[in-house]
Every structure is written in C-alpha cells, then in structure tokens.
Chains A and B, each alone.
Chain A
Amino acid sequence: MAFIKLAIVGFLVLTVIFLSVSAYSRSVRRERLEKRWAEENPGADLAERDAYVEAGMEKYFSGFRRRLIVLVYVVPVVVVGLIVWLTNTN
C-alpha cells in the first residue's frame, strides 16, 4: 500500500516538475530565437520574425533536447532503485 502511495504521489510531483521544466525550456528557446532574429535582421517585419520563431520552435519540438526532459521521470526512479539496492544488500 505504501509503495502504491509513493508511486502515485511521486508521479504527480514529477509531473509538475516535468511540466514546469518543459515550459521553461520552451520559453528559453523562444526567447533565444527572437533575440537571434533581432540581431540578424534589425528593424525587419514582425510577421517574418514570427515565422522564423515558429520554424525554430518546430525544430525544437521534433528535436532530441526536448526528449531529454523525460529524464525528470527516469532519474528519480533509477536513484530510488539504487538506494533500495544499496540499503538492503550487504
């Protein structure tokens, strides 16, 4: 029963962390794209900038770095497994 409690609460907490980290990563990427565009094309059209940013975000969504955020779920499970193993074997 305690294990089920840990699994459910752990899943909820990790989901909150996962969503926040995803949002943060998206926001940072978008900001970087906007800044890069502003540097390369000063005073250019805003619609073009939006298209450039959207294209960059598209690339991010299909990229590898976004998938790395899944580690938020993987690492704690591995750590808990490691602790269980280290504590209970001698």
Chain B
Amino acid sequence: MRALRIGWRLLLVLIVGAVLHYALPQQDVARITGTEVIRTDFSGFNRLFYAQADSGNVENTTRDLRLINTVRKRTMLLGLVRGKDQTMVYRNEDTGWIWPPYFKFDSSDLQAEADDVRSTSADPNWVVIRHYGWRNRFFTIYPNATAIREVPGPDYRPIPWFNIGFFLFLLFAGLMLRAMWRQFRERSLDPAMERAGDRWDRVEANAKERRGRLGRWWESWTGPRK
C-alpha cells in the first residue's frame, strides 16, 4: 500500500515535471546556419508535439513547417554546465491562443530575423534562441523557437527570469491553496462533520433507548433475560 502510494506520487511528479520541462521557455546560445521549409506529414503520435497551422489559416493534415538550423552550445543540468557545440534544429510555428500559452503569431517575422543573423563557423554571430519543447530524432519532433536576440559571444549566460518568476508564482499559488484548504476544513468541513456526527450520535442513542424500551416490554412477558 505504501509502495503504491509512493509510486503514484512519483508518477505524478514525473508527469508534471515533464509537462513543465516541455512547456517552459529555455534559452540556448547558438549560431544560426540556415533556415528552411519542409513539407510535414504528421502521424497520430507526433502531431501532439506540433502547434497548429499559422494563425488565421485553415488546418490541413499536411502542411509546410519552418525550420531554423543552428549549432548551439550544449548545456547540461538546466544550463549550469556547458558542453561542446552540437547541431540543433528548431521549428518555427505559431502557437496561437491556446497551448502552450506563448501567444506567438509572428513566425514569418521570426524566420526573417533568423535569416538576418545567419553566420558561418568562420565568422560566427552568436544569438540566444528562446524556445520550448523537445528535439527527438525517433519521432521527428523539434523545439519551437519563440524569439531570437543577439548576444556578445558564445560564453554569454542567459538568466531564466521568466522561469524564476514562474516558480515563485507557483510557490505562492501552492501556499495560497493550502491556506484556503485549511481554512475551509477548519471553518466549514469540520463543523459540518461534527454536526453530522452529533446527529448520528443522537439517532443511535434514540435507537438504543427504543430497543431498551422494547426489550423491557418483552421482558415483562418472558421474565428477565439471563
């Protein structure tokens, strides 16, 4: 029972962690090497990891996908440890109004920006690409780039201000929820339970009393029970 409970909690933490890791913005220091557009036929599974057609367009089963090819600094442990260079491909799609809530409608402009800061390894031009999502080669999914800004060099370290704020807000919301639940339990739930308990006690006492009366009447005929 205990193992089951720990297992459930672990699963919950994993799922929530995965969703947050997928949806929260990350910043990569990268060098854009080119952009391209490929036709994409989604499968039932990897469709989940793409946004929808550009805002205002109709959704078809197949469509063109903007890609940004880059070489980026590999990072580990949430960006704390820097590694070597690594090729990385980002998609560039409108997220529209729903999920994840980046409200991005400017894919075409972002593609133009990416083209503008293209560079070669001989004369690199480093940028920070803000993105969410995962790259997976087996399912052919890409992280979605949401913004590009130029930085002085490859050693630049972006600070995740949004994520810091987000987790502080999450902490606040959690504490608020806990305080609200405790207040509700103390002021509404417990008194109601107590009232219900009292009523039950009265009902029980009443029934006992009645049984007692019935018993006494019965015993008036049969004589005291042994």
13 contacts between A and B (CB under 8 A): A2-B97, A3-B97, A5-B98, A21-B180, A23-B184, A24-B184, A27-B183, A27-B187, A28-B183, A83-B101, A84-B105, A87-B106, A90-B147
Complex partner residue of A80 from B96, B101, B147, B183, CB under 8 angstroms = B101
Whether A87 contacts B102 by the Cβ 8 Å rule is yes
The A7-44 residues at the B interface (CB cut-off 8 A) are 20-21, 23-24, 27-28, 30-31
What is the CB-to-nearest-CB distance from B105 to chain A, in angstroms, rounded to a whole number?
5
| B98 A6 Cβ-Cβ under 8 A | yes
B residues lining the A interface (CB < 8 Å): 96-98, 101-106, 109, 113, 146-147, 179-180, 183-184, 187-188
Q: Interface residues of A: mostly helix, strand, loop or mixed?
A: helix
Kindly list 10 other residue pairs between chains A and B, CB separation below 8 angstroms, not including A5-B98, A23-B184, A87-B147: A6-B97, A6-B98, A20-B180, A24-B184, A80-B103, A83-B103, A84-B103, A87-B103, A87-B146, A90-B106
Q: How many residues of A contact B (CB 8 A)?
A: 18
Q: Which residues of A contact B102 (CB under 8 A)?
A: 83, 87
State A21–B172 Cα separation when bound (angstroms): 14
User: Which residues of the partner chain A approach B179 to less than 8 Å between Cβ atoms?
Assistant: 24
- A62 part of interface (Cβ distance < 8 Å): no
Report the bound CA distance from A49 to B55 in whole Å. Answer: 60
User: Complex Cα distance A53/B147, Å?
Assistant: 54
Residue picked from A6, A27, A88, most chain B C-beta under 10 Å: A88
Report chain A residues within 8 Å CB of B103: 80, 83-84, 87-88
Chain A positions within 8 Å of B106 at CB level: 87-88, 90
CB distance from B49 to the nearest CB of A (A): 18
Contacts of B113 on A, CB cut-off 8 Å? 90
Shortest beta-carbon distance, A33 to chain B, in Å? 13
CB distance from A78 to the nearest CB of B (A): 13
Which residue of the partner chain A has the closest CB to B52?
Answer: A2
- In the bound complex, CA of A80 to CA of B98 (Å): 11
